[in-house]
Structure 1
């Protein structure tokens, strides 16, 4: 009898312990982190694949390299980048994890929309549920998101994506031209980062990166070894000559270094590093010979190696070429001063010629933007446009990283004010979302710049207001264009789900530990999610001034690969993808930094 009581007592104790565990441990964790069960999607079949498609496998080089530039292999110490974060309180951790989980669910919403309606195609059309092949039809969203799946702990989804990756054939494409820059940063970057994050446990990742690298390397087979950036790949497959373009974006030509360098580090094949180092040497040779010494024009002639174009800027067509100067320095283990010197010359020119402070009503907030310049052959400014583009928002983070690794402490305030400028641009819009580009009125005196309504109106009008009729007309323009104070025009009022502002917030938060940056990121996330969410994902919007903006039915792969990844990392533990352990590519793909011999 006593034995039976003991048995019932023990059983009751175990039962109540299980109940307590359910309510006190499992249920709270389940509510906080949620549950997710991956489902295997069905590939969305296109019409282009044929058994007799042209494949670029083994091709004969017309201009082979006879001697490769060697990869440096003995990295040295680099100053620490990340802030020494204190231990957070239990309440802070709970609030942070709740926000992070919300971002993760948003990622899964878009990812599942892609899986269900565009699997193994490049993009899902987030409003209609159709698909679009924008980048050679190799599953851009799938491959670009590989490392995001790992970072967010979506292991089942990652395994499904790995299985799909095995089926992608990088030796053929239905497109007549291959965008070398976009293919390298999205596909190669995604596979290399996933390889690095999993410590090489999945050989298919590096195998496919090499397969793509072998194909894309043919784009460099030109008379001067400068790549044809809109590569006519079928000509290469037929053994025909290709030419570098006479009109090439600086960003595309100068933003291949990190991916190709890492591929050489991982494979030991010197040709990839050699290919991009030749480009760097050309850029370095011409950096102080342009119309604005220290900077390169936004458009260059890669065929004749001419850098005499008159237009200079840091946004579209130029951005990542400057971003990669400090990042390549880090990835090479600081073994050469080439990238340090190139960055020094570029940032000094930027500080001297491009930085401007906009005239705002809130003068307590110091922010900075950069202008675009047109330079005549005499080296004088022919035209200056006080134009801020969303793409320029990368600069705060880049200047912040460079300030740390190059011991340029005087530039840290510039990095913060550039970042704050983009936060201001988000906060000042009715939707809380920054437009693609807008013009502003620059302060004449940066240290003493009181808002002047008359000057602002003249900036909107484009010249001095002389009559009451003109003053009346400019008021109508301000109202119809919905111009915030200080903004003189909207060049492009769309939002394309871009990541650059969040990129700089992430970097500056990791550098400074300032939690107000997390607050800004959370505001931005909530506003973006509200304005862009669709049935099958998130869509670019046509006008950030509309309270209920029209959706454009476009979701590029960087929404998952960059924007949501940066948001997730802003609310992660600081040690998760530490900037002292990884270099993040221009597509936010983390590559392992060297700590010893490769």
Structure 2
């Protein structure tokens, strides 16, 4: 093995082991599960429970909340003031709708709404106040603090769908949740922020019910304790029990980028609504540190997947991606710019700098049999050769990364960069292609493709694809091309690889929203007439294959061609909080949650934007 290959291999191994040890969240791809998942059909699957084991009794943090901080802020940044700018219009102007188009749209909208009500009613009767319903057997489980994640995540969806009776019933129940205690020893601060704080803030912005703002403040006070460290950087995997005992905290020396960089929307909105600057100060402390080091990383403009919050070293590691474990940091840059009406120019600047780098290094055109020009975003590994920086692209498709199409289109509109909108459209098209290419019509969690040699000319080469399949399978290429092609056919049949897919290391679909999220955003931004039909095909494929007697379940393998795909008996709260919400909005009038009035957090919770009066 040549020295450079050894260095690549060693660097990749170290980075992967680091990520392996860092558990993951719904936005942050579970690498441990990826390791054990099979790319071929199997009636068995390795289910690894990464949830913390419940303690015998709940532990309360109330006393700690009433004591002064151990590491007080020396100089508090004050909440932004001034008149917001009139930012460029995001949504396109939709023309008149024919009677037939309206009829079809409303029929689809009702179907999505009925799918939501079916799941909600099952949750209400069988898992009320628990985090999740087990959609196959009707059980319940607590994975996010035991604070009713599905209930809180669904509040704004209930309002948006006009289910006001169910909404107010849920608000009354949520008002009785105590976020000061939990039986889980460890709390994921990122997930608590996007699901609970985001859920309450959006439901308040939509309904004006003051009980929701009080709950948002309660969650915010609890989360603020995780920032009580010497450098005011948060503990992202927070030991709730240690905090309750008053033990001193330090920020972690290895933290996922998305988990430390995705607080700006929720924390700034909470400060705006309460008039208390402390949450604004907390998030600005993080973002200003990231901004200072943005051009000093191994891939200037972007930050690595893993960063050191304890030493505030945000550039040491060498994996760079818009996908798993980094995603929502980049997503929040243009969205925070929109939220505050341009009053914090740093967010637009950071967005533009990061996308300049990502477009150059991470985006690529895959070789696909479809003549359509599509893009995907991969992972970049930075190394060195003869003292010079070299980069290597891993041409990987992730369902998580499908959000990038919508992000670039939205960001491009906000900063008036048509190239971003164009790239975002092609990224969305890449995800739609991946959905259409699979036998069930559902995109897998992770897959690999063959990058084109030239971005502007990439004819389909079946022989080249087959040889790449053999290489990716680890069989190695020989001098006998006929034998290699024979092996390729065996692998393709065994792994059930559609044309264009080199490998599928993770065959699951866990009810994720990122693809429909981008389809929805691109439809609102461009008005492309083919997108409603694409969205409808996605919904039909998902609903028909994931439906159980009670609700909808995540799938273990979307490559199956015959029979019902195996289920993993899981329905995370984002199915109701995100996926079905985006499908519903896709078939709604364009002024329902207008992108010029609201901005969505990474859990699809819409916050009111600051706009000129």
**Fold shared per TM-score above 0.5:** yes
What are the Cα deviations for residues 473-511 of structure 1, in whole angstroms up to 9, with x where unaligned? Answer: 221011111111121100201001000000001110000
Does the CA-based 8 Å contact 1:100-1:572 persist in structure 2? yes
Does the CA-based 8 Å contact 1:59-1:239 persist in structure 2? no
Aligned pair partner of 2:203 in 194, 199, 204: 194
3-state SS, counterpart of residue 137 of structure 2: coil
What are the Cα deviations for residues 45-82 of structure 1, in whole angstroms up to 9, with x where unaligned? Answer: x9978588554531331110132112222211100000
Structure 1 residues 53 and 296: CA distance shift in structure 2, 3 A: closer
3-state SS, counterpart of residue 526 of structure 1: helix
Matched, 1:310 2:326: no
Aligned pair partner of 1:286 in 284, 293, 306: 293
Q: Which has the larger radius of gyration?
A: 1
Deviation for aligned residue 1:145: 0.5
Matched, 1:150 2:159: yes
Alignment of 1:181-580 (within 5 A): 181-198=190-207, 200=208, 202-306=209-313, 307-363=315-371, 365-377=372-384, 380-381=389-390, 383-462=392-471, 464-467=477-480, 468-547=482-561, 548-580=564-596
TM-score between both structures, scaled by the size of structure 2 = 0.87
3-state SS, counterpart of residue 388 of structure 1: strand
Unaligned runs of 5+ residues in structure 2 are 1-52
Q: Which residue of 1 aligns with 2:115?
A: 106
CA distance in 2, matches of 1:180, 1:391: 20
What are the Cα deviations for residues 498-525 of structure 1, in whole angstroms up to 9, with x where unaligned? Answer: 0000000111000011121111000000
CA distance in 2, matches of 1:327, 1:362: 33
What are the Cα deviations for residues 19-45 of structure 1, in whole angstroms up to 9, with x where unaligned? Answer: xxxxxxxxxxxxxxxxxxxxxxxxxxx
Does the CA-based 8 Å contact 1:176-1:232 persist in structure 2? yes
Q: Which moved more, 1:310-319 or 1:564-573?
A: 310-319
Length, aligned pairs only: 549
3-state SS, counterpart of residue 355 of structure 2: helix
Q: Which moved more, 1:224-233 or 1:375-384?
A: 375-384
Q: Which moved more, 1:327-336 or 1:494-503?
A: 327-336
3-state SS, counterpart of residue 181 of structure 2: coil
CA distance in 2, matches of 1:182, 1:52: 19
Deviation for aligned residue 1:361: 1.6
Does the CA-based 8 Å contact 2:85-2:343 persist in structure 1? yes
CA distance in 2, matches of 1:582, 1:379: 45
Structure 1 residues 138 and 570: CA distance shift in structure 2, 3 A: same
3-state SS, counterpart of residue 304 of structure 1: coil
Unaligned runs of 5+ residues in structure 1 are 1-45
3-state SS, counterpart of residue 397 of structure 2: strand
Q: Which residue of 2 aligns with 1:130?
A: 139
Aligned pair partner of 2:605 in 570, 574, 589: 589
CA distance in 2, matches of 1:203, 1:336: 28
Deviation for aligned residue 1:243: 1.4
Deviation for aligned residue 1:341: 1.1
RMSD after superposition: 1.6
Aligned pair partner of 1:178 in 187, 194, 199: 187
Does the CA-based 8 Å contact 2:54-2:183 persist in structure 1? no
CA distance in 2, matches of 1:220, 1:487: 43
3-state SS, counterpart of residue 540 of structure 1: coil
What are the Cα deviations for residues 403-462 of structure 1, in whole angstroms up to 9, with x where unaligned? Answer: 111010122211110000000000000000000010000110122211112211221122
CA distance in 2, matches of 1:285, 1:534: 50
Does the CA-based 8 Å contact 1:60-1:239 persist in structure 2? no
CA distance in 2, matches of 1:558, 1:50: 28
Deviation for aligned residue 1:218: 0.3
Divergent runs of 4+, >4 A: 46-54
Deviation for aligned residue 1:383: 3.6
CA distance in 2, matches of 1:413, 1:333: 24
CA distance in 1, matches of 2:453, 2:566: 37
